[in-house]
Every structure is written in structure tokens, then in C-alpha cells.
A = this chain, B = another copy of it.
Amino acid sequence: MKLYTSHGPNPRVVDRFLAEKDVRIPTHWVDIMVAENRRDPYLSEVNPAGTIPALQLDDGTHVSDVIAICEYLDERFPDRPLIGRTPEKRALSRMWTRRVDLMVCEPLANGYRFDQGLAIFSNRMRCLPEAAAGLKAVARDGLQWFEAHFEGPWLSGVSFTLADIMLATFVDFGNEIARQPLPLDLRRLQAWLSRVHERLGVTNFR
């Protein structure tokens, strides 16, 4: 296997997923700052959608989606499961992961791409600057919803899962890069974020 990785929250989700599982995979760095991921050979040989990360499997196939990659790694390396040991637990962690994805990660990231990130992203995808403020508000609504419905200790209950890694990584991105800080009055999420950092070891975005 070989992992194509770079800056940004999505590659960092896979880095943290692998670290938590204590699995190491050879990596290939892709320089997204010069759009290496938006031209050949990356587009033709690795991922025609141009996104990072991508995982080359042993049979040469490329899987280029952060959740599909994490699901695959959890199947291939079943020790320390991060999606769940049973169908019922997997169902719950997948539910929480997609809630995180649609309610926070996507609107937060697009709020960034369509505003501070516009100079970088406007040549790479259709950007909607008119939606930036609204998307950031949607992401804040999502965080408030998680605050209100968080039972803990982790999002999916007693087990630490991909849902925690995804939300924490995008919240870190909001705090450090995207100027969408986690509000201080969301105390349960603030305490949860500290627990995630303690567990994973805090690292700043490269």
C-alpha cells in the first residue's frame, strides 16, 4: 500500500487514524500548494477527482476518499477498531461520522474555500462566495447541535471512533486555519476536544 498525502484536514484524518491504530504505511507527498493534485500524472494515474488523500492498494487500485480509506484500513487492520467491532457498533459510528461530515466538516471546509481560500480554490472547483457566510453559520449550528446532544465520553458513546477523529480534525482546522473557532461556550465539546488531543497527541497543522 502507498498513501498519497498532503496538507489539510482530510489527509490529517487518515494520519491520525493510522497513528491511533499504530499502523505505518509508506507515503507519497503531493504538493497541493502548486496544484500537483489537479494535473497529470496524479489525475490520470491516482485520482481523477483531484482530491487528497488517496490510498494505493496492493493490487494497484486507488481509493481516493477519506472515509472509504479509513473503512478499508479498519478492515485490513482489525486491531484497535475505530469504526466498531460489531455491525450494531459500526452502524452507530457510521451514523455519527456522517452527521459530523454533513453538519460540520463540509460546510466548515466550503465556508473556508469560498472565503479565505478563494484565491487557491477558485481555479480548482466551482466556488460560491455568496454562500460562505451562510455555510459558516450552518457549521456553527452543527457544532451547537453536537453540544446539545453529546452524551460522551465520545461522540458515538463509550468507544472512540472515526467520528471523533473527523470532527476534532475539522474543528482544529477551524481553530488554526479557517478562522472558524470552536465557541468557548460549547463546554462539552471543548472538554471533548481536549480529551481527543490528549489521546492523539496535539500537533499543529503543517
Contact = CB atoms under 8 A, between A and B. Distances in A.
Interface of A: 48-49, 55, 57, 59, 61, 63-65, 67-69, 71-72, 75-76, 87-88, 90-92, 94-95, 98-99, 102, 106, 126, 128, 130-131, 134-135, 137-138, 141, 145, 149
11 contacts: A48-B149, A61-B91, A65-B99, A71-B91, A72-B88, A72-B90, A75-B90, A76-B87, A102-B106, A128-B135, A131-B134
A65 B88 contact: no
B88 A71 contact: no
Contacts of A68: 91-92, 94-95, 98
A94 to B, nearest CB: 4
Contacts of A49: 99, 145, 149
Contacts of A76: 87
A143 to B, nearest CB: 13
Contacts of A69: 91
Contacts of A102: 106
A141 B127 CA distance: 12
User: 8 closest pairs, A vs B, by CB?
Assistant: A131-B131, A128-B134, A68-B94, A72-B91, A68-B95, A65-B95, A75-B87, A63-B91
Contacts of A88: 57, 59, 61, 72
B99 A67 contact: no
A92 B128 CA distance: 29
A188 to B, nearest CB: 15
Contact of A92 (B61, B87, B94, B126): B61
Contacts of A145: 49
Contacts of A71: 90-91, 94
Nearest to A59: B88
Contacts of A141: 126
